[in-house]
Amino acid sequence: MNLPYGEIKGNVLKMTFSTADFSIASVLSAIKVHIDVIQELGVAFLGAQTDVGAGPTPVFQPVPVIAQFEYAGKGGAKDVLEKVYKVVWQGIVNSFPDETCWSEAKEAYASFIAAQADLLRARIEAAKE
């Protein structure tokens, strides 16, 4: 099976999303929707994080959101982790907001980023004085 947004290494599934499309909150919500199914498959959710690189970046640069799962059962991990991959994507689809809510959330996020940029500019100006 092709996993365009993930990879399986041994008994670990690593799924990658982009903050251009999904917040960490939406990824966690998608996992929460089906966490019981994931656990019944013998898979533990190891956590999720944003992967922010070192050094300065532009004000808005999408970063990866990475979620990891580990198969602790017996038998072939690959088939089970492929099922988890599908289940998580079902959760993304099932929990994703409609377009109006999504665009309002993106607008609020853009306002947040602009406010952060304003704060940084003010701090730089204050430091010059």
Structure-block tokens of residue 49: 């994080």
Indicate the pTM of the whole model.
0.77
Structure-block tokens of residue 97: 């907001």
pLDDT of 110 reads: 80
User: What's the chain's average pLDDT?
Assistant: 89
pLDDT of 57 reads: 64
- Categorize the per-residue pLDDT at 17 as very low, low, confident or very high, splitting at 50, 70 and 90: very high
Structure-block tokens of residue 15: 């799924």
Question: Which amino acid appears at position 13 of this protein?
Answer: L
Q: Each residue of 37-78: pLDDT tens digit?
A: 999 999 999 999 987 767 666 666 788 999 999 999 888 899
Instruction: Tell me the C-alpha to C-alpha distance, in Å, between residue 3 and each of 7, 30, 82.
Output: 6, 17, 8
- Per-residue burial over 83-96, b if 16 or more Cβ lie within 10 Å, else e, is bbbebbbebbeebe
In whole angstroms, what is the distance from residue 23 CA to residue 105 CA?
10
pLDDT of 58 reads: 65
Instruction: Tell me the C-alpha to C-alpha distance, in Å, between residue 23 and each of 17, 19, 75.
Output: 9, 5, 34
Q: What are phi and psi of 16, to 5 degrees?
A: -125, 130
pLDDT of 75 reads: 86
pLDDT of 10 reads: 95
